[in-house]
Amino acid sequence: MMIEQVRKENPLIHCMTNVVVTNFTANGLLALGASPVMAYAKEEVADLAQIAGALLLNIGTLSTEQIDHMIIAGQAANEANVPVVLDPVGAGATSFRTTMSKRILEEVKVSVLRGNAGEIASLLGVQATVKGVDGSMEGDKIELAKQAAKQFNCVCVVTGEVDVITDGSVVKTVANGHPWLTKVVGTGCLLGAVIGAFIAVERENLVEAATTAVTFFGIAGEQAFQQTNEQGIGSFQEAFLNQLHTLTDDQMKQLRRNEA
Amino acid sequence: MMIEQVRKENPLIHCMTNVVVTNFTANGLLALGASPVMAYAKEEVADLAQIAGALLLNIGTLSTEQIDHMIIAGQAANEANVPVVLDPVGAGATSFRTTMSKRILEEVKVSVLRGNAGEIASLLGVQATVKGVDGSMEGDKIELAKQAAKQFNCVCVVTGEVDVITDGSVVKTVANGHPWLTKVVGTGCLLGAVIGAFIAVERENLVEAATTAVTFFGIAGEQAFQQTNEQGIGSFQEAFLNQLHTLTDDQMKQLRRNEA
Amino acid sequence: MMIEQVRKENPLIHCMTNVVVTNFTANGLLALGASPVMAYAKEEVADLAQIAGALLLNIGTLSTEQIDHMIIAGQAANEANVPVVLDPVGAGATSFRTTMSKRILEEVKVSVLRGNAGEIASLLGVQATVKGVDGSMEGDKIELAKQAAKQFNCVCVVTGEVDVITDGSVVKTVANGHPWLTKVVGTGCLLGAVIGAFIAVERENLVEAATTAVTFFGIAGEQAFQQTNEQGIGSFQEAFLNQLHTLTDDQMKQLRRNEA
């Protein structure tokens, strides 16, 4: 599973994502070597989802109508055996988001569910004791991810200082990443799209594909920070897109830090 | 009133803003040290507005439906004593914008109204004799700002070459800023959000908080231009985000130019 | 026909464009020296279209409702003799996009139609034998552009490795440009807006104005790549905006490569 494979196959990723991050997501996918298509209208989302390599559903700036269209797209993707990534942005923050995320999970077969610990916990109805998303909570995070993977019958990616990827039995963790990634809006949302690009070219092993995506993303953040140091997030954001564009498999092998 | 306070308290700013600037606004707030949340759906805006440190209403790409949702959010903010910033983008340019801005001002208690002289004049029904928004018009601008502050019972910020901040009696002016700020789309809109971040951490003195926000913003523009000189607005925009991220209170004290 | 003319006249370009590229389009127009206004509401689009120097209709993230509003704006522009640019993004990719593009062409008098060969072919109902949009297909592309120009009674700009601009009789080609322009999302969409800015200041000769716009755009891409080399598309995008901001007519004369 290699970044070169994504760059070679150039998978089409149909993104139904929020208005805040749509440009950054498209540029991130292009930098990576994938082909983004953003489309939201009920008249065409099924057509596009069925020819895509993966479909991303991100509820960041949801409305009831958009969720309806996401479900149309998701079910079309399911019929065509196109993998679906769900990013339940802000689930738990409002009951509307929790409810709508659950509705998608009930009506669409999701391949990969990506969120932070609080979002995933809210979907499980678990008390948000997982608030401090740091190293000491790692054990809890793995259990949380496994529980979500089993309940929703998908691969679950719980991101944080250490990222957890699991299908309910196999568990991978990724220690790569940089705190400044949380200072650029839409990095989490873009990660969902990047996972889509990797699973589009490796459908047989979703855990492996998602782990590589998360590792690649984290290393790009580390390298971007090293290059721009403390100049500020304007420079960091530009360097991060450059890294998505130029990072190689050899660099990844050297820099990856996977534990567990 | 210091930038360090914003960075320390990390206030949540609920932005209902236009699709052109939503990414830039979120990144600007993150750079500054605040936490943006963008949400528009009628089912959740009240929930978010009530837990925010401030609510921004920006009508840049308005629709009647979005204005309805802004009013729901604004009234919820009012109930919870959360300050509201209104940016009546393009008021006066179309009668639709003037009417919708007035509707918000009637139905929501606005804490800070921010616009250029033409926008504020249109809300007052004043003839737009204030067209040349330059130094020589300063007297008019102060009167205009005071009149709006009194009529709408809020702090009014009229931006231009010199910015005026007033609650109708106390008047502050800020001479900081750089013409290139008008060459990057959304700087005015971002300023509304930045004012939100400053008033969120200093609710007792809105004039002081808004003045600090405007000063900080102007200095960041000056520094960004100095760093990138004439390279172009691509570089300027990046440097400006870097400045929002790194500018200190000490630098502000040295560089601020407040008159009147 | 010169870039200085655009910078001097500072034309107002009313953009009804997609959510992915709206910020980039606005910043690109500002960099160039034009004034963008983005507005979508049925209550105001006619007012703005009639005072604009040009109107851009871009269907990148269309909905049926937005197309209705585009037609209101387009007809108002027609009444006021304001030129209209249509960018039928993704026509041919879904039947919805093809149908909606044709509907606009039937109900609005379009001055300039800009697309790639596949999009233009789909509007003509031509079989997409023009799939490889490279040099060897140039003959076909010119015929395609001429056919579209005649059928829709407009100037047609078919972009690709070599760009073709024609009103059905006069044919211009532009060899400037850089492959990395396809790696930044929204460059094609921005080009539509830039064509709008050039035709706004040169309404008498649309072929010449559009050719200058396309040439200018291509040279900016070449220069941006030279400046940033292989750093990645983050740096390329910033340098490209800088070039739109700073490129002069003298540089254009030296660097333009127009064939045919």
pLDDT digits (tens, 9 = 90+) for A206-230: 999 999 999 999 999 999 999 998 8
Neighbours of chain B (3+ CB pairs under 8 A): A, C
Contacts of A233 in chain B (CB under 8 A): 27, 30-31, 241-242, 245
pLDDT in tens, B198-208: 999 999 999 99
pTM for the model: 0.96
Whether residue B47 and residue A95 make contact (CB cut-off 8 A), yes or no, is: yes
Distance, in Å, from the CA atom of B191 to the CA atom of B202, rounded to the nearest integer, reads: 16
Mutate to test the interface with C, among A17, A43, A66 (most CBs of C within 10 A): A43
Partner residue opposite C61 with nearest CB, options A38, A47, A241? A38
Question: What mean pLDDT is predicted for residues C10-23?
Answer: 98
Q: In terms of Cα–Cα distance, which of A156, A91, A154 is closest to A126?
A: A91
Supply the pLDDT for residue C132.
39
Distance, in Å, from the CA atom of C59 to the CA atom of C62, rounded to the nearest integer, reads: 5
Distance, in Å, from the CA atom of A260 to the CA atom of A174, rounded to the nearest integer, reads: 9
Distance of CA B43 to the CA centre of its chain: 26
pLDDT in tens, C36-50: 999 999 999 999 999
Whether residue A36 and residue C185 make contact (CB cut-off 8 A), yes or no, is: yes
Whether residue C185 and residue A27 make contact (CB cut-off 8 A), yes or no, is: yes
- The encoded tokens of residue C60 equal 């990148």
CA distance A242 to chain C (A): 4
CA distance A24 to chain B (A): 8
The residue extents of the domains of chain A are 2-255
CA distance A21 to chain C (A): 8
- For chain B, how long is the longest CA-to-CA vector? 48
First to last CA, chain B: 19
Query: Following CA atoms A35, A39, A44, A50 in sequence, which dihedral angle do they give, to the nearest 10 degrees?
Result: 40
Supply the pLDDT for residue A135.
38
Whether residue A245 and residue C238 make contact (CB cut-off 8 A), yes or no, is: no
Supply the pLDDT for residue B92.
95
Query: pLDDT tens per residue, chain B (260 residues)?
Result: 689 999 999 999 999 999 999 999 999 999 999 999 999 999 999 999 999 999 999 999 999 999 999 999 999 999 999 999 999 999 999 999 999 999 999 999 999 999 999 999 999 998 655 443 333 455 689 999 999 999 999 999 999 999 999 999 999 999 999 999 999 999 999 999 999 999 999 999 999 999 999 999 999 999 999 999 889 999 999 999 999 999 999 999 999 998 75
Whether residue A62 and residue B48 make contact (CB cut-off 8 A), yes or no, is: no
CA distances from residue A221 to A190, A191, A233, A239, A256 in whole angstroms, order as listed: 12, 11, 11, 9, 12
User: Is B186 assigned a ligand-binding role in the annotation?
Assistant: yes
Distance, in Å, from the CA atom of C61 to the CA atom of C76, rounded to the nearest integer, reads: 22
Contacts of A18 in chain B (CB under 8 A): 38
Whether residue B185 and residue C243 make contact (CB cut-off 8 A), yes or no, is: no
Distance, in Å, from the CA atom of A257 to the CA atom of A173, rounded to the nearest integer, reads: 9
Supply the pLDDT for residue A130.
42
Supply the pLDDT for residue A258.
84
Whether residue A96 and residue B237 make contact (CB cut-off 8 A), yes or no, is: no
pLDDT in tens, C109-141: 999 999 999 999 999 998 655 443 333 455 689
- The encoded tokens of residue B56 equal 């921004």
User: Is A114 assigned a ligand-binding role in the annotation?
Assistant: yes
C interface residues, B as partner, C-beta within 8 Å: 19, 22-23, 26-27, 30-31, 36-41, 43-44, 47-48, 237-246
Whether residue C31 and residue B230 make contact (CB cut-off 8 A), yes or no, is: no
A interface residues, B as partner, C-beta within 8 Å: 18-21, 23-24, 60-64, 90, 93-97, 183-186, 230-235, 237-238
CA distance A83 to chain B (A): 27
Distance, in Å, from the CA atom of B215 to the CA atom of B125, rounded to the nearest integer, reads: 29
- The per-residue pLDDT of chain C, averaged, comes to 94
Which residues have C-beta within 8 Å of that of residue B217, sequence separation ≥ 6?
B176, B177, B187, B190, B191, B194
Annotated binding site of C: 38, 114, 159, 186
* Chain A, chain C: beta-carbon pairs less than 8 Å apart: 79
Contacts of A234 in chain B (CB under 8 A): 31, 237-242, 245
Supply the pLDDT for residue C135.
38
Does the pLDDT at position C260 exceed 80?
Answer: no
Question: What mean pLDDT is predicted for residues C16-24?
Answer: 98
ipTM greater than cut 0.85: yes
Looking at domain C2-255, its CATH architecture is 3-Layer(aba) Sandwich (3.40)
Residues of chain A with pLDDT under 70: 1, 127-139, 260
Question: What mean pLDDT is predicted for residues C208-232?
Answer: 96
* Chain A, chain B: beta-carbon pairs less than 8 Å apart: 79
Contacts of A37 in chain C (CB under 8 A): 90, 93
Q: Where are the alpha helices (DSSP H) in B108-201?
A: 117-124, 138-152, 187-200
CB B48, CB B73: distance < 8 Å: yes
Distance, in Å, from the CA atom of B121 to the CA atom of B145, rounded to the nearest integer, reads: 9
Whether residue C64 and residue A43 make contact (CB cut-off 8 A), yes or no, is: yes
Distance of CA B10 to the CA centre of its chain: 18
Does the pLDDT at position C170 exceed 70?
Answer: yes
User: Is B94 assigned a ligand-binding role in the annotation?
Assistant: no
